[in-house]
Amino acid sequence: MAWKDLLVERRSKETLNSLLFFSLALLFVFQFALDADRERLSAVLPGLLWLAFILSGMLGLGRVFLVERENDCWEGLLLAPGDKSAIYLGKLAGSLALMFVVEAMVLALFALFFNVDLAPVLPPLIMVIALGTVGFAAMGTLFAALTAQARARELLFPVLLLPVLVPVLLGTVKATEAVLLHEPLAEVAHWLKLLVAADVIYVVAGLLTFDFILEG
């Protein structure tokens, strides 16, 4: 499943290209809004970083089930033999891959345009971002399936997803902040535990409930 989606994406590159330019445009918006005050920038950098991840992630994840919808393959998903949770895991893996690529691009753009030296903090930063992304993608994939058959799905998807993701957002922004300030990770251990708990709960909830979404 993941393999098929990645292959489609690699062939068409439509989502990835658009997201790259979208995040570039976002950087301009941030820059205009904050006017490049170094002090102010470093105070809000973790929040900005995650804002960029969320906005571009939401655009990307909202499309997860669009391929099936547009090409009338929803029935194909329904009729797929075997366990439906395998489809969920496949879609989740695809979402994760997409988000990691987008996040790598956004990070590089941030380092370049906002002149932030990320190299010394890269390993813990990657860990924190990965923890947050798993929760984000787990819920994002589930909700993309929930809203795929609804009217006004482009609107409904973020409206449903954002409030549910508040714990993940708070946790990752706090942890990212600590990492960027060169604080030891032990200081934010409670946030990391919360993130791990959220990731586990979201993935398990997705696995258990996905069957019911793909019934008809």
Partner 1 sequence: MNLNVTKLMGWLAALTLVAGMVMGFGVAPRETTQGNVQRIMYLHVPTAWVAYLAFGVVLAASIAYLARRRAGADRLAHASAEVGVVFTGLTIAAGSIWGKPTWGTWWTWDARLTSVAILFVMYLGYLLLRGMIDDQERAARYCAVLGIVAALDVPLVHFSVYWWRTLHQPPSVLKPGAATMPPAILAALLVNVVAFTLLYVYFVAKRVRLLRAESEALA
Residues of the chain by 3-state class (helix, strand, coil), percent to 5? 85, 0, 15
Q: Which is nearer to partner 1, 94 or 171 (CB)?
A: 171
Least distance CB 13 / partner 1 (angstroms): 31
Q: Nearer to partner 1 by C-beta: 106 or 188?
A: 188
The minimum distance between CB 83 and partner 1, in angstroms, equals 17
User: Are 144 and 64 in contact, with CB atoms under 8 Å apart?
Assistant: yes
Closest by Cα among 128, 119, 129 to 52? 129
Closest approach, Cβ 105 to partner 1, in A, equals: 28
Binding site for partner 1 (CB under 8 A): 139, 142, 146-147, 149-153, 156, 159-160, 162-164, 166-167, 170-171, 174, 190-191, 194, 197-198, 201, 205, 209, 212-213, 215-216
SS3 category, 191: helix
Greatest CA span in the chain, whole angstroms? 56
Q: In 3D, which of 171, 211, 208 has the Cα closest to residue 191?
A: 171
Nearer residue to partner 1 within complex by CB, 12 or 149: 149
Task: Please state the closest distance from residue 185 (CB atom) to partner 1, in A.
Answer: 16
In this complex, which beta carbon is closest to partner 1, that of residue 52 or of residue 146?
Answer: 146
Please state the three-class secondary structure of 192-212 as a single string: HHHHHHHHHHHHHHHHHHHHH
Question: Cβ of residue 49: shortest distance to partner 1, in angstroms?
Answer: 18
Q: Which is nearer to partner 1, 107 or 129 (CB)?
A: 129
